[in-house]
Chains A and B, each alone.
Chain A
Amino acid sequence: MTEGMKQIFKNTTYLTDMQRSYCPGCTHGVIHRVLCEVLEEMNLMEKSVIVIPVGCSTLAVDYFEFDTVQAPHGRAPAVATGVKRAAPENFVMTYQGDGDLASIGTAEIVHAANRGENITTIFVNNGIYGMTGGQMAPTTLMGWKTETSPYGREASRDGNPIRVSEMLSQLNGPAYIARTSTDSPKNIIGTKKAIRKAFQAQLKGLGFSMVEILSNCPTNWGMSAVDSIKRIQDETMKYYPLGEYKVVEGI
C-alpha cells in the first residue's frame, strides 16, 4: 500500500473468487458476504461447517472457503444435527431458503429448534421458489401472483403466509431468533449484528439460533432490482416485522 494511505475496506477471504451464478440484483450475494465477514471477524475458519440446502443457494457449495455439506431438500437442520453431535467442537450453520425451510423442511427446523440444537440457521426469506422458476412458497404474501398462484395467493385455497420467527420463538429450545432485512445499508448492518449474536449463542452453547433475512427475487417477482427492494419495504416488512424475537440471557 502506498505510504500515507489507509485500507478502509477489503473483501472477506472466507468467500471463494468464483463468479456467483445468482441473478442480478439478488441479495444472496450480500448475505453471503456479511455471513463471511462475521465468521472472519470471529476467526471461525478452522471450525466452520456450513450445510447448504436445495434451491438457488445450492450453488453456494462452491462459494465458501470453509468446509461445506450439501443437504437434501429441507433436511439441512437434521444434517447439521449429525455434524454437530458427531463433533461438538465444529461451528455448524445451515443456510436455507423459505421453500426449503418453511415448506418441505418444517419438521426438521421445528425439531432442531425445539431440541435447542446448538447450531445456527441463516434463513433467507424472499417469499418465492427461485431455482424452480417462481412458484408460490408458504411465505408468499396474500395476493402475490406466482407461477402456481396465477390469480394471486388466496387464503381459502393456499393458506396463509407462515411467520417462522414468531412460530419458533414460542419454543423453549431456541436461544436467539431475529428477523432482519437486506433492503438498506442500515438493515444490512443490522443483519450482520444479528448474525454475530446468533453465532455467540452457538459459541456459548446456549442452544439453537436463527436469523431470518428478508430478501428479494427480481427475476421471479418480475421487476427491477430497485423495485424489488421497494417491495421488501412496502409489502414484505409489513407482514414480517423486523426485530429480535427471542434473546436468552447470556448473549
Chain B
Amino acid sequence: MSEKILMKGAEAIGEAAIKAGCRLFFGYPITPQNEAPAYMSKRMPEVNGTFLQAESEVSAINMLYGAAGAGHRVMTSSSSPGISLMMEGLSYIAGAQLPVVVVNVMRGGPGLGGIGPAQADYFQSTKGGGHGDFRIITLAPADLQEQVDIMYDAFDLADKYRNPVMVLTDGLLGQIMEAVEFKTELDPSSFKPPAWAVTGRKNRPKNLINSFDLDLDGLERHNHEIQAKYKTIQEKEVKFESFHAEDSEIVVVAYGTMGRICKTAIRKMREKENASVGLLRPITLWPFPEKKMLELAQKPSVKAFCTFELSAGQMVEDVRLYSKELKPVHFHGRTGGNVPSPEEVIEKIKSVQKEAR
C-alpha cells in the first residue's frame, strides 16, 4: 500500500488518471483547472505517455474520440465554458459508444462567468448536454481522496459501458490541498485493445467507429441499444453517501463541495442540539439515486427535504421528481462562485425545521 501524500486537487486528478493506466491527455488551458494539464505535461513523458495541448476544447474532445476509438484510455480536463465546447464531441462519443473520461472543474456562469467554484453544470452533465438522446455517467466527489478514487472508477465505468464519464468537480476541489492515497497502480501495457477498436484490420472484419445511420429503423435500433445500456447503468451503478438520512426528520440533499459543507453543518447540529437532520449525498449524479430518494420520501419519519447547491437550483428538480414531492422540497443556492458557510447552511435548515413543525 502506498503512503498518504499532500497534493493539490487538480494535480491529484492527473496522478490518479496515470495510476489508473491512462497514458493520453489532450486539453486546452482554462481556469480553474490549469494545474491538471500542467501536471500532465510534466508527468506523461516520464511514463511514456502523451500530453498534447490542443488548439481548442473542440479539438481536444475530438482527439479523445480518436484515441478512444483506437482502444486506449484517454482523458481531458476543462472547466464549464470549455465543457460547453466539448458537447458536440461528447454526443458523437456517446453515439459511437466510446469510453472517455472528462473532468469538469466547474466555475460560475453563465457565459464567461467567473472563476469561483460553482455547480451550475448539473443539467448539462446529467441530462445529456449535447444533441440527441444520450447520457453521460456523472460522478461527483466531495473531497480529494474520493476524487482520486473516483478517477479509477471513471475509467472502469467508461470501459465497462463504452460511454463517456464526467467527473463533476468544482474550483474548490480543484484548488485545495489534502492528503491522498493512491490504492493501486495499473500497467497499461497489460491492457488489450478492445475487439471493436480501430487498430488496423488484421485477421478480422473491418472495424467502424460511427454514430451515423441514414436508415430510420437502423438508427432507432441503435438508440434502443444505447437506452438499454443506460437502463442497466441506472440499475447497477448508483452510488451515494447517507449520513443519518434514514433516521432524520429533515433530509438534506447536496453533492460535491456543497455536500461536504452540509455534512459539517449537520454534524454540528447533531452534536450541539441533537437535531434530527441527515444528509443524502449523491455520488453518481447520473444515474441519480432515484430509488433511495423515493424510499426516503415514503418514510413517515421524514418531514422535509432541503437541497443545497452552488447553482440557482438544478439538482433540486431531480429531488422533486424522484421524491414525487411526497414531502416538501426546500432549496438554498448560491451562485457567482460564492460558497455558503456551514453557519449559512444551519440557518436555512433551522428555517426548514420550523416550517416542518
Contacting pair B96 A82 (CB below 8 A): no
15 A–B contacts, CB within 8 A, in A order:
A45-B201, A48-B200, A61-B212, A64-B206, A66-B200, A69-B208, A69-B209, A70-B211, A71-B62, A71-B66, A81-B63, A81-B66, A82-B65, A107-B55, A108-B55
Kindly identify which residue among B66, B88, B201, B202 contacts A82, using a CB–CB cutoff of 8 Å: B66
> Which chain B residue has the least Cβ–Cβ distance from A71?
B62
* CB within 8 Å of A: which B55-84 residues: 55-56, 58-60, 62-72, 74
Q: B210 — which chain A residues lie within 8 A by C-beta?
A: 61, 68-70
Chain A binding surface SS class: mixed
Closest chain A residue, CB of each to CB of B70: A86
A109: shortest Cβ distance to chain B, in Å? 10
Report B-chain residues with C-beta under 8 Å of the C-beta of A82.
24, 26, 62-70, 74
Query: Chain A: which residue is nearest B72 at the CB level?
Result: A86
Least distance between A14 CB and chain B CB atoms (Å): 10
- Apart from A46-B200, A90-B200, A107-B58, what are 20 other A-B pairs with CB-CB below 8 Å? A46-B201, A47-B200, A61-B208, A69-B210, A71-B65, A75-B65, A78-B59, A78-B60, A78-B62, A79-B69, A82-B63, A82-B70, A83-B198, A84-B66, A86-B50, A86-B70, A89-B200, A90-B199, A108-B58, A111-B54
Given contacts A46-B200, A71-B65, contact A81 B52 (CB under 8 A): yes
| B206 close to A83 (CB less than 8 A) | no
Task: Please classify how large the interface on chain A is, using the bins under 10, 10 to 19, 20 to 34, 35 or more.
Answer: 35 or more
Within 8 A of A (CB), among B189-210: 198-202, 206-210
Contact of B50 among A48, A79, A85, A89 (CB under 8 A): A85
- The winner among A80, A83, A110 for most chain B CB atoms within 10 A is A83
A68 to chain B: closest residue by CB: B208
B206 in contact with A108 (CB, 8 Å): no
- Separation in Å of the B41 CB from the closest CB of chain A? 14
Which single residue of chain A is at the shortest CB-CB distance from B209? A69
Given contacts A65-B206, A68-B210, A85 and B58 within 8 Å (CB-CB): no
Task: Report the nearest A residue to B55, measured CB to CB.
Answer: A111
- Please, which residues of chain A bring their CB within 8 A of the CB of B212? 58, 61, 70
Asked if B92 contacts A72 (CB within 8 A), the reply is yes
A87 at the interface (CB under 8 A from B): yes
A111 engages B96 (CB within 8 Å):
no
Interface residue from A45, A47, A85, A107 paired with B59 (Cβ < 8 Å): A107
State the CA gap A90–B69 with chains docked (Å). 12
Q: How many pairs of A and B residues are in contact by the CB < 8 Å rule?
A: 134
A199 to chain B, nearest CB (A): 15
Q: Which positions 6-57 of chain B face chain A at CB distance < 8 Å?
A: 24, 26, 50, 52, 54-56
A61 CA / B74 CA spacing, docked (Å): 24
Interface status of A40 (Cβ within 8 A of chain B):
no
**Is A108 within 8 A of B211, CB to CB?**
no
Bound Cα distance A89, B198 (Å):
12
**Contact between chains at B52 and A90 (CB < 8 Å):** no
Set A45, A68, A83, A111: member contacting B67, Cβ < 8 A: A83
Contact A75 to B70, CB < 8 A, known contacts A46-B201, A67-B206, A85-B24 = no
Minimum-distance CB pairs A-B, first 6: A82-B66, A78-B62, A82-B67, A82-B63, A67-B198, A86-B67
Instruction: Number of B interface residues at 8 Å Cβ cutoff, please give it.
Output: 38
A residues 98-124 near B (Cβ < 8 Å) are 107-108, 110-111
A194 at the interface (CB under 8 A from B): no
A51 to B94, CA, bound (A): 18
Tell me the complex Cα distance, A61–B209, Å. Answer: 9
Contact among B66, B74, B206 for A66, CB-based, below 8 A: B206
- What residues of chain A lie closer than 8 Å to B202, measured between beta carbons? 46
Contact between B66 and A79, CB atoms less than 8 A apart:
yes
Q: Which residues of A contact B89 (CB under 8 A)?
A: 72, 75
A68–B210 Cα distance when bound, in Å, is: 8
Separation of A51 and B89 alpha carbons in the complex (Å): 15
**What residues of B have a CB within 8 angstroms of the CB of A64 in the complex?**
206
A49 contacts chain B at the CB level, 8 A cutoff: yes
Residues of B within 8 A of A89 (CB): 200
- Against B, the Cβ 8 Å flags (1 = close, 0 = not) of A39-67 are 00000011111010000001001001111
Q: Is the CB of A51 within 8 A of B66?
A: yes
Tell me the nearest residue of chain B to A69, going by C-beta.
B209
Q: A67 with B208: in contact, given A80-B66, A82-B26 (CB under 8 Å)?
A: yes
B82 to chain A, nearest CB (A): 15
